[in-house]
Amino acid sequence: MTHARGGASGNSRARLAEAVRRRGVTDPGVLGAVGAVPRHLFVPQALAARAYDDAALPIGYGQNISQPSTQARCLEALRLSGSDRVLEIGTGSGYQTALLARLVAQVFSVERVPQLAEQARAAILAAGIANVSQLLGDGTLGWRDYAPYDAIVVAAASPEIPQPLLEQLAPGGRMLLPLGPRDNQVLTLVRLSGGRAVSTPLAGARFVPLLGTFGFDA
């Protein structure tokens, strides 16, 4: 990925935050993150003119940078605090990683595609973000070295909740992931309470498949 040259005006980011607010997101922290993160750093240069549209965009390797309002709703549902340690499965473009980094103490992000991991690393660095750690590997296995996590967000569809991720969730922790078949899922919030997982369906969704040992086959 070649990053768009030059900076985006604060007006562009403010307009995107307002578009996200009109979609029903009310959390001031999430809206503030959308208004602060330079999304143009995370999209291919050929699509730079659309960087601040509330739209999903292709980033190559069969992946997309998700619609900002969708990402914002996911982050709002997790009810994040400034002290949380969060595991992100599917770094992708790194944009959601950057949003998370403004909302929590530390982000641990796993990506399986080497080229995307490197591009995201460069974009995160260019955005001046320092509280993100990245791992190249099978996201369905999580990242045990730094578990447990207060929250886990999975940016790809899984046929069921990957057991390793449940094992890495702190007591009282929250996990958000799209559950279901490849072509149609339900965005689901999972809470770990009393040693058991309690799932709450939130909305219909359509994400790229989560590939790996505890996800879909490639």
The CA-based angle 71-40-16, given to 5 degrees, is 50
What's the token pair of residue 180? 């279901």
Distance of CA 87 to the CA centre of its chain: 9
Amino acid 21 reads: R
Q: Which residues are catalytic?
A: 66
Buried b (16+ CB within 10 A) or exposed e, 174-192: bbbbbbbeeeebebbbbeb
The dihedral sign for the CA sequence 173, 179, 182, 185: negative
Contact (CB, 8 A) for 178 and 154: yes
